[in-house]
Each structure stands twice: as structure tokens, then as C-alpha cells.
A and B are shown apart, each in its own frame.
Chain A
Amino acid sequence: MRTRDLTGDNTQVVNVPTTERPRVNQNMKMKVHDLEVWYGEKQALHGVSMDVVENEVTALIGPSGCGKSTFLRCLNRMNDLIPDVRIKGEVEFENQNIYAPEVDVVELRSHIGMVFQKPNPFPKSIYDNIAYAPKILGQVRKRTDMEDLVEHSLKRAGLWEEVKDRLQMPGLSLSGGQQQRLCIARAIAVSPSVLLMDEPCSALDPVATATVEQLIDELKENYTIVIVTHNLQQAARVAGYTAFFHLGNIVEYSDTDSLFTHPREKKTEDYITGRYG
């Protein structure tokens, strides 16, 4: 059986033992080409190339310091905020290099949203957490439209039933799992097409984790999701594709079933079976 090697040039086909069908018809939402990142003198990414499949969940796994979060943050130019950072290479989103000088970063981030490790609601009401960005971006002007948007976003994030009677309560009064879903609702309120998630469940208990994972599963219908996770089981559960990062390079990138049952690379095998280090 053949499947696509998603590392680099997406026309390349390699023999991989897999039961998956080759998914030749899927579109690539983002294309990353030869991405290099330095923090001061230290190089964090060494020419990484990888395509992100549309309407799929792609998990990035690897040991601490392997560059997976750096990579994720490059996908919506979050790294621009870090002093001393140097970035080389191309990140293509909808056929445009997002590092091109004419790109409006604020607008870019409304297309490529982000959810962080620690739930970080604004110190505002639940309602305002959702309404804030669409308001300042000028996406919604009428009050009734905004109410609809808040309801829709909270419903998409699976939080509506739990908070519909207390929308004016502070976002920070919610439980950890609810706060994280609020952040997801906030991220999708501006209608992004890509959601980047940096260990979104690492601060959550197993029940809240399961709820967020269920949500991720539902969201992939409409969004392309890239998730960094330390929890290998989580990658195995939620992702259609998984990339293993090591020392600033991608070691292996393939469909999740292949990666977790018969990885091609010894390094991948050692990492996912707990033989790392």
C-alpha cells in the first residue's frame, strides 16, 4: 500500500507499510518550505518543510525543545513577538507567503487562530470574551448579530448549554476545562479557517480533556487544526496525521495509524515506545 510522504515536496510518494489509502485528493491548507528559526545564536528549526492537510487534525509530537511549538507559532507569526528571533523560509497560506512584507499580521491571525496551553480568558465577561475580537476587527456591528455570533461560537465550542444563563459572569469564574472551551469559542468567533493549538489539554483533567478532544473532532469538519501535544495517546486519538519533531527537524510525518503502529524511523519508534534518551 502506498501513502504520501507529507514531508516536503507533496508530490513525493514513498512506500510505507500502511492500511491507509493514499489520500491523493486532499487539499493542502498550508505549505511550509525550508523553515529556519533562530533565537539569537541558537537555531531552533533547521529547514523544516511540511504541508498541512485541509480539514484534518495534524498533531506535532516530540520531546521538549524539539521545535514543535516554535514551528506552530511560525504558522501565524506568533514568533514575531519574540525579540532576537530570525525566521527564514516560506509559510504559504492560501497561496500567499505569510512572511511577505505586505501581509497584515492582525488580519492573518484572524484567519489562523490560536489556543494556548493555559486557558487565558480576558478578565471580562463570558460574552465580552467572545465579542471583543469581532468588534475591534469590525466584523460585526449590530447588537443582535453579535448576540447570534456569541451563541453560535459557544455552541460550536460545546459550552453554550453550560453558560447560556450567565453570559455576564467573568470568564475567569469558569472551571479550567470550561475556560479552555471559552478560549476555543473566542478563537473561532472571528471565523478563522485554521486553528493552532499548543497543548490545549495539558492543564485539564481527563474529563475536560475528553470534552475538548470531542470538540476537536467536531471542529475539523470546518477547520484545519494543528495541535502540539506531549500526550502521545492524545495525538493517536485525535489526529489524522502526525509529525514527529526532533532537534529542530521533522523525523517522520505520516498518517497517524502508520506512525503509531509501524513507524519508518527508528527514532520515532524509540520515542513513541518510551525508549527516548
Chain B
Amino acid sequence: MDKVGLEKHTSKQFDADLEDVRELVLSMGGLVEQQIADAVRALITGEGTLGEDVVQGDSQVNRMEVEIDEECTRILARRAPQAGDLRLIIAVAKTITDLERIGDEAEKIGRMATHLASYDRPKSAFRQIETLGRHVREMLRDALDAFARLDSEAALRVAQQDAEVDREYEGIVRQCITYMMEDPRTIRHMLDVLWAVKALERIGDHSTNIGEYVVYFVEGKDVRHIGLEAMEKEIIEGAARRRGG
């Protein structure tokens, strides 16, 4: 089978409907990405009202989720999509759920940033948080890129990054524990930091999920819960099949 394409339906309106819903997902993704970037910056710098802005911004993410959901329902009801079209709508409906959750995590980080705004920051721990934040944002961007380009191999690379994110997360947790043992007065603040870091780690998981939906859409295979190795195998086989191997 050739690479899944979205166009060339006999009904041009159907082409347009699918393209619209896909663009909506990408713009929702862009919004969520910005929310993470702002939340992490608020956390690292303690900058003014930025954390508060992120908290406020989440309602826009929620609105987009509802809007895209309605669009998916409409397409299912009116077009009764099949095969690749059906998989696209299913993948979109699942993707926006994860995007909305990522939005919630960003909101959580924003709230923690507000709590911690006046707190004197231990430099090294926050540098690591910055790295982790950058890393999970990259994962989300890669997942959205894979979605935009219908590229299951790119989606695989998202899943491959998750182990590294988990390691970085564990490193920060250990460091926080050290701080708390050294000076119990920091416990209150460190718990807030841990909440925020946990939220970042969860964003990595949600991005991995989005990558898995891309694989489902492109390959027609459900690669959830089968482990990275099995996922790699499925994708390599799919690519070989498309090349006519």
C-alpha cells in the first residue's frame, strides 16, 4: 500500500473536511507547545505573572478540544469514513485527548511556578528542569511533526526518547530528595518542584501516545502496550511493505 494520503476523494468537500480537522489538531498542538514553553520559563525564572497566564490559557486548549471533537463526530455521522479515513478520525479524537491532558500538565506547572515565584532557586536543579522541559517539548513537537507528515518512523523516534526523559526525571527526583534531607525547611517548596517535574515527565508519556496514534493511522496497527522493540518491528515491516518488499 502506498503512503496514506488524505486527498483525492471523489468528494472534494470530504478532502477539505479532513484537511480542516488535521489543521485544527496541529494548531491545537502549537498552542499546547507554547503553554509548556511558558510554564517551564515561569518555573525556571519566576517571571512575573507568566505562571498565572498559563493557568488562564488552558481554557483555550479545552475549547479547541471540544471544537475538534465536534468536528470528528460530524465527519463520522455524515461521511461514515472507512479505512485510512476512519483511522485518521480515530487518531485525531485520541490525539486531542492527550493534547488536552498535556495542556492540564502545563497548567499544573504554571500553578507551581506561581507558588514558587518568590522562592530562592537552587541553580543546578533548575538547570536540569530546563533540560527536561526542553526535551519533552521536543518530543511533543516531533510527535506533531510525525502527525503532520504521516510519518510512522518519526513517531517511533518519539517513543525512543521517552526512556531518556524518564532517566532525567529520576535524576531530578534524586536531587530533590537530597535537598530535602539536607534542609527540611525546603520540603514545602521541593514538593511543588516535584509536582512540576512529574508533570513534565507525563508530557513525555502523552507525546509517546500521540506517536502511537500516528503509527495506528499510517500502518493500521495498534502499537500501544507492546513494547518498543515490537513497535520498531511493526514499523520496519510496514515501511518494507510500502516499498514493495
Contacts and interface: CB of A to CB of B under 8 A. Distances in A.
B221 A275 contact: no
B10 A269 contact: no
Contacts of A277: 10
B9 A266 contact: no
Contact of B87 (A232, A262, A265): A262
Contacts of A272: 82-83
B162 interface: no
Interface in A21-77: none
Contacts of A270: 8
16 contacts: A232-B82, A236-B82, A260-B83, A260-B86, A261-B86, A261-B87, A262-B83, A262-B220, A263-B1, A265-B1, A266-B1, A269-B83, A270-B8, A273-B85, A275-B8, A276-B10
A277 B10 CA distance: 8
A263 B85 CA distance: 12
B84 A269 contact: yes
Contacts of A273: 9, 81-85
Contact of A274 (B1, B2, B10, B220): B10
Interface in B28-74: none
Interface in B85-141: 85-87
Nearest to A260: B82
Contacts of A232: 82
Contacts of A275: 8-10
Interface of A: 17, 19, 232-233, 236, 260-266, 268-270, 272-277
B82 A17 contact: no
Interface of B: 1-2, 8-11, 14, 80-87, 219-222
Contacts of B1: 263-266, 269
B236 to A, nearest CB: 13
Contacts of A236: 82
A249 B150 CA distance: 31
Given A17-B220, A263-B1, 11 more contacts: A17-B221, A262-B83, A262-B220, A264-B1, A269-B84, A272-B83, A273-B9, A273-B81, A273-B83, A273-B85, A275-B10
A276 B222 CA distance: 27
A178 B84 CA distance: 37
A128 B14 CA distance: 50
Nearest to B2: A266
A191 to B, nearest CB: 37
A189 to B, nearest CB: 36
Contacts of A260: 82-83, 86
A34 B219 CA distance: 32
Contacts of B82: 232, 236, 260-261, 272-273
**Shortest Cβ-Cβ A-B pairs, 6 listed:** A262-B220, A272-B82, A266-B1, A275-B8, A273-B85, A269-B83
Nearest to A265: B1
A244 to B, nearest CB: 11
Contacts of B81: 273
A13 B80 CA distance: 31
Nearest to B217: A262
Contacts of A265: 1
A262 B80 CA distance: 15
Contacts of A17: 219-221
A144 B8 CA distance: 61
Contacts of B80: 233
Contacts of B85: 273
Contacts of B9: 273-275
A268 to B, nearest CB: 8
Nearest to B85: A273
Nearest to A270: B8
Contacts of A266: 1-2
B11 A274 contact: yes
A261 B83 contact: yes
A173 B11 CA distance: 40
A273 B87 CA distance: 11
Given A233-B80, A272-B83, A261 B220 contact: yes
